[in-house]
Structure formats: C-alpha cells, structure tokens
Structure 1
Amino acid sequence: MGCDGGSIPKRDELVKQKQRQGKVDQNILNRVQWFTCALSKKPLVAPVVSCSLGKLYNRDAILEFLLNRSAYGDGDLICKHIRSLKDVVTLQLEPNPSFSESHSPSLTNHDQEPVSRYICPITIKEMNGKHRFVYLDTCGCVMSEQALKEVPSKTCIKCAKAFESFNVIVLNPKAEEQEAMELALLEKQARIQAERKEKKKAKAGKKELEKMNGADSSLLDYSSSSKRKLEEATEFTKHSNKKRHVAPASAAQTAQSSTLSLTAAVAAKVAEQMAANASRQKSSALKSLYSDGRSSKENFMNR
C-alpha cells in the first residue's frame, strides 16, 4: 500500500465515467456556418440557397450534388433530405455595402473579425452569426428575427408577399431547434406523399369517369341517330301512303290488282285441298297399323 514501489489507483481509473464532450469555440462555429457552404466548405457566394433545416449552401454545390451524390464525401450525411431543387429555396440576400474582397480578412485569421457579405435590410445588422436570421420559404427574403418581431405582419416586409408562421425558417438553428425542424420536415414529407397519392387516385377516377361519360354520350348519339332515322322512315311511309291514297288508280293498275287477288285465292284453295289429301292419307296409314282386318281387341302393341 505504500513504500513498496506500488501506486495508488485513482477513482477515474477504477470507475468508468462518461466522457465530456469538448466545447467548440462559438466564433469558429459561426465562421463555418455563416461564411461557408455547408456542403462544399467554400465561401458563400450568390446565388445562395437554404433547405428546410436552415443550412446555407452555394447553389452550384447543390447542383453538383444532385448530378452526382458522391461528388462530396459527406454529402449524404449533410443534405440527404435534398432530392431536387424543389427542396431548397433561393435566398434574396441584401448585400453589405461595407464589404470588400480586398480588405476582408481571411476566415482562418482569428485575430480579426470577418465582415459579412450580407446584412438585414431592416436593422442593417450583419449576417455573421451574432444575430438570429430567418427567411421566408414563400419568397426567399432574408431578415433578422428582431426585424420580423418588431414589424408584426402577415406580409413580407421586403416584397409584401403573404406568409404564415410555418413559412418562417430559422437560419443555422441551435441543436435542439434543429431536432424539432427535422421532425417537422419528416411530417411535411409524409403529408406531401399522402397528398400526391390522393391526387393520383383522383386523377385516375376522373379518367374513368370521362371514359364512362364518353361511352354514354356515344350510346346517346347512337340512340338519337336511330330515333331520327326511325322518325324519317315513318314520315316517308306516311307521305307515301298519303300519295297512294290521294292519287287515282288507273285501269291497268286496277286490273293488275284484281289478277293478283284471284291468283292468291286459287293458290290458297289448292293448298287447302293438298292439306286435306295428306291428312286423309295419314289417317288411313294409322288405321292400317291398328286394324288391317284383325279383331278389334288386337292392336299394334300386342300383335
């Protein structure tokens, strides 16, 4: 326990404790988030876009990522929720008149404070991470959260376009805010998919209804045309009968009709005589089967 060359273990060596996460310098984090693209890590240059999670990207980097999702090594981890340009909004940023490329310090120089390229159009505050900034996904206008609170309105302060509270997206939110925004994004995507399915079903039902209506209209046209043809034939028959009734019959026509009537009467008489002879022959043939000179008790079945 002592004086034997051994050592006394400390509590940290015997009990496993949760490792403390190292604190990140907020100034360095602000420079990375507000001055560089979250995907390419290059300085932000217009046109700048943002997603539903409030991250800032260069539009060129997003296009490269959509064309080749392996263009950036950690692209699927940073912006896996971006599947098309519809998932990002082009930001309408207000340029900072005091910004200069030649006099602006490097982002790696921590001794000097970098000057932001953009400012709030209302409060003139720089978009450098020291102040909270938001944008409206309806128009893409960017402003400080303070300006949005000081001028309460349902229309954009900059372009006067209407918006709702859920259209306000915080740029580079805090960790706890980002988790809530991710859940809201998942709910939004599920709602959009459900709406698309409903639209597809409604479109399919509309097509079926149009087909049925087309078939009904064709049948209706066919029936109307048939009815019209029938009416025309009836009218023609009435007209012909009227002409036949009004026009006086000639002597030749009268004689011809009399001849036809006589011929028909003779033919009917001959047919009647032939039917009587056939019936008489049939009766004699049946009688020969049962009688043929034998006793009356004997018939065809017991001969």
Structure 2
Amino acid sequence: MGCDGGTIPKRDELVRVKQKPEQKDKDSEREFRWLHCALTQQRLEEPIIMCGLGRLYSKQSLIERLLEKDNKMPEASAHVKSLKDIKTLKLTPNPAYEVNEDKTEGLLDTRHAPYICKLIGLEMSGKFRFVALWSCGCVMSERALKQIKGKTASTCPLCLVPYCVEDVIVLNGNEEDVELMKVKIEMRAAKRKESKKKDKKSAKSNEEKTEAVTADSKVKEPKEKEITIKTEKPSTSSKIKRSIPINAMQDPELKRLKTDFSVAKDPKATDVYKSLFTSHKTEKEQERAHWVTYNPFYN
C-alpha cells in the first residue's frame, strides 16, 4: 500500500514529530493591551487611569476592586494598594475612530486607535511608544516628547506643568521598561517622604517663631506703659513751666491778684476809682448799707 510508482516519502511523513507550542500573535496581543483593562480584561471605559508601571485600567472597575473586602489583586496589579498609586490620564480622542455596531458581538473596528498624540497625531495603538507624565497626567508619544524636550525643558508641552525624570511613565512598555518604572516608583516615594519631613520642619520653625514673638510682646508691653507714664509727667510740667516767664511775678498787674492787695493803697489809682470800692473812707463813714453788697459799715 503506497510507496509505489517511484514515490519517495519524507521523514516527517513517516515519523510523528512533536508538535510546536502555539505562539501568540504579537499584533493582536498588543492591540488587546491598549484597548482593554489590565485588571478585568474588559473594554476600557473612561475615565482611564494608569499605575506606576504604565498599565491601563478603567477607573471605576479598579476602585470597585479596592473597596471590596476580599481585595485580591492579580500579580500584575499587586502594587496598586490605594488611590495614591494611580493617575488619571488626559487623553486626546481620535476623530477618525468609529465603532462599527453592525458587526457581531465582541468584534470592534480596530483599524484606527481611539486616542492619538495631540502634538504630532500618532495613533495610540501600540505601534508607537507612548508616555504619560505622573505630575499632570498628560499623554503624548515618546517621539514628540523627545523633540520638544529641548525647547521646553522639564515642563509639560501640553499644560506647562513642571515634571522630573521619574515622572515620565512608559505606557504598556516591555520588561525593561517595567523594571525602570519600578525604580521610578521608589524615587517618587522617597521624594514624598523628604517633602513631608521638610513641611514638618518648616511648620515647627514657624510655630517657634510665633511663640517667641508673642513672648517678646508680652515682656515689652508693661515696659512701654511705664515709659509712657514717665514721659507724660515731665512733658506736662515742662510745658506749664515754660508757659510762665521768669519775671512774671514782678509785674504789678499780677500783684493785684493776691489776697493782701488793696485798691486804697494803690498809688496809681485815682480817688474817683477808689471811691467805687468799700475800702474807701467815704464808704466806711456812711450811715447806710452799701448799694451793691448791702453790708452795713456804720456802727
């Protein structure tokens, strides 16, 4: 049976060879990572967030998983423990992207990516490397960031927020990129600790300064009062003394103000002026009371 007519069989036709394992389609795997949540493996829904390693998530599904009592995160997302470990992305929608609803369930139009780079228009489909800034959440292509980095050093080209080297996150990177992102996570954590320490030190120094100022003000208040009281007394007395001239008591007009002064003894006064007062002789010798004071001067 067979092998007649001069046919020569090959080895793989006669011997059973071990089958090779199935290999993943790299293109389909890449598209899946950019279109589906890394936690639930479902279609990405806005708002879209990223973790420190650059993986994409639907914010609602991740928050629901964090709020569950049995918070069992997969190994790829075990580093996400709170909202501090995620960042909301600012994406630019692609006007050429359309979802064909006429297709069968589960199949979407992947000819165009749903998001693009706002700077140079590259589609965020996985064919080009994209990065996101942890400081502001803006997403752009790595090519655009390298071209503009020299012109706007350490500032986001989209929102002009300053950023550092550890803030640049590669989205859906390879194994080397993931290792580099782990180092950047540690760098950001160390910076947060240093900033907290500086804030505590500055707060303590401000409190000490305020306490010292209040203590000094309490000590200086009674001294200032004493000084004002002491300075007021000599100032008033000195004004009164300066207002009176030295030879004022020698003036004859002021002598009349004394109690022992009498008009009858004044040599400058006339007899008619002296007769108006009760100290005159005519007033003392009269037989009726004075017309003003009604004092009886007669015996």
TM-score, scaled relative to structure 2: 0.60
TM-superposition CA deviations, 1:112-152 (whole Å, max 9, x none): 85653222334544322232111233443322223334555
**Cross-structure match for 2:137:** 140
Q: What count of residue pairs does the alignment treat as equivalent?
A: 228
Q: Which residue of 2 aligns with 1:222?
A: 222
Partner of 2:42: 42
**Could you tell me whether the CA contact under 8 Å between 1:105 and 1:114 is conserved in 2?**
no
Asked if 1 retains the 8 angstrom alpha-carbon contact of 2:166 and 2:184, the reply is: no
Instruction: After TM superposition, give the deviation of residue 234 of structure 1 in Å.
Output: 4.9
Q: Quote the Cα distance in structure 2 between the aligned partners of 1:126 and 1:106.
A: 24
Unaligned runs of 5+ in 1: 1-20, 252-303
Q: Distance in 2 between matches of 1:101 and 1:223?
A: 86
Paired with 2:71 and 2:30, the residues of 1 have a C-alpha distance of 22
The percent identity for this pair of structures is: 24
For 1:101 and 1:82, locate their aligned partners in 2 and report how far apart those are by CA, in whole Å: 37
TM-score scaled by length of structure 1: 0.59
8 Å Cα contact 1:99-1:116 kept in structure 2: no
In structure 1, the residue matched to 2:29 is 29
Is 2:52–2:169's contact at 8 Å kept on the other side of the alignment? Answer: yes
Change (3 A) 1:191 1:62: same
Unaligned runs of 5+ in 2: 1-20, 250-254, 260-299
Displacement, 1:156? 4.6
Corresponding residue for residue 130 of structure 1: 127
Q: Is the partner of 1:57 in helix, strand or coil?
A: strand
Partner of 2:118: 121
Q: 1 or 2, which has the higher helix percentage?
A: 1
Q: Report if aligned partners of 1:51, 1:87 keep a CA contact under 8 Å in 2.
A: yes
Indicate if the aligned counterparts of 1:51 and 1:82 stay in contact, CA closer than 8 A: no
Q: Once the two structures are superposed, what CA deviation does each residue of 1:98-119 show, in whole Å capped at 9, x if it has no partner?
A: 321515776679xx85653222
Distance 1:164 1:238 in 2: 72
Q: Let me know the Cα RMSD of the aligned residues.
A: 4.0
User: Structure 1 CA distance, aligned partners of 2:74 and 2:218?
Assistant: 57
Cα separation, 1, equivalents of 2:238 and 2:29: 100
Q: What is the correspondence of 1:1-303 to structure 2 with a 5 Å cutoff?
A: 25-66=25-66, 68=67, 70=69, 73-74=72-73, 78=77, 80-84=79-83, 87-102=86-101, 115-152=112-149, 153-154=151-152, 156-159=156-159, 163=163, 165-235=165-235
AA at the equivalent of 1:38: A
- The alpha-carbon distance between structure 1 residues 120 and 192, as it changes in their structure 2 partners (threshold 3 A), is same
CA distance in 1, matches of 2:22, 2:204: 57
